[in-house]
Structure 1
Amino acid sequence: MARPKRIVRKVGTPSVKMALKGEFKGDEQQLSAKEQHEMFSKADENEPFTEEQLIEKWKEFLPRLDDRPSLKATLGTFPKLEEDFSLTLEIDSRIQDELLANIKPELVSWLRKELRNSNINLKTVITDVVHEKVAYSDIERYTEMANKNPNLALLKRTLNLDF
């Protein structure tokens, strides 16, 4: 009885020798952010779009960031659309700005391609968030309540109360 022939197929995994030499098969397929930008942005496209269309495309981009939750949370707020098709995104900190700097070329290129407008630019504005001081101790809570209602201080003095 004859045995069936085994067919050996090469799988597209890199070899150790090639990796040590610094040769990777997938390198020619990966594009830099600048190359992606040039490929996706066409200077002659100027199709107008609405804020609703922008928000829809923005939401379509977010699933790409499932492996980076902090960046996805940063992009959870929608940018404001200006008159000249520039987008202004308000963020809370410089750290978020640094995270966005890595993905900004890809995001802008993708938006330009999807919305067919080469004038789209993304600007980030760091807003100052004012945090209220929270009263934790008894004295801090009493002082805060006495400032809101001066009769509380009068009651404390009249009844000679203490903490």
Structure 2
Amino acid sequence: MKSHQLNPLDRCAVAIIELENDCASHVGSPSLCYRYDTPMKGGVPGFLTASFNTKAVKDGLGLRWSFMGPMETIDLNAPGGLRDYCGRYGPLYLDIARQATPRQWTDALIGKLEAERLVELPSHLRDARQAWRDQRLMQLVAHKRSASTEYAND
């Protein structure tokens, strides 16, 4: 009896996303650009720092997005659903987008952010942290698989 062999991406539980058209800003890019660009702009001193950005994602939205995604998050974050959320916060997001100005990632800025990260994670510990990350991702995937039977639409 042959065992069923999965595609390596299936074994890793990586979703394959097919786009109708090729584009420079693929599915992940806009979100990543915003998340990375905020601290690269220097943020707002004492508020939008690299460590604040990390905490906001790691301990906030990232937790929700790991099992429900951004659209379901906003749909559930206002009493009237997605349309209600957009009515409440759409003008705020538009204002933020209008105020956004591109900023080159200079060596000085990269050095500042790198120094912040090295306080959090010295370079000699990076390999161990990468292994820890991979283990945590596998545990999260296992949890998501076991939890997916709780809600029929997962």
TM-score (norm 1): 0.22
Higher relative contact order (CA 8 A, sep 6+): 1
Please say which structure displays the higher CA radius of gyration. Answer: 1
Higher-helix-fraction structure: 2
Higher-strand-fraction structure: 1
TM-score (norm 2): 0.22
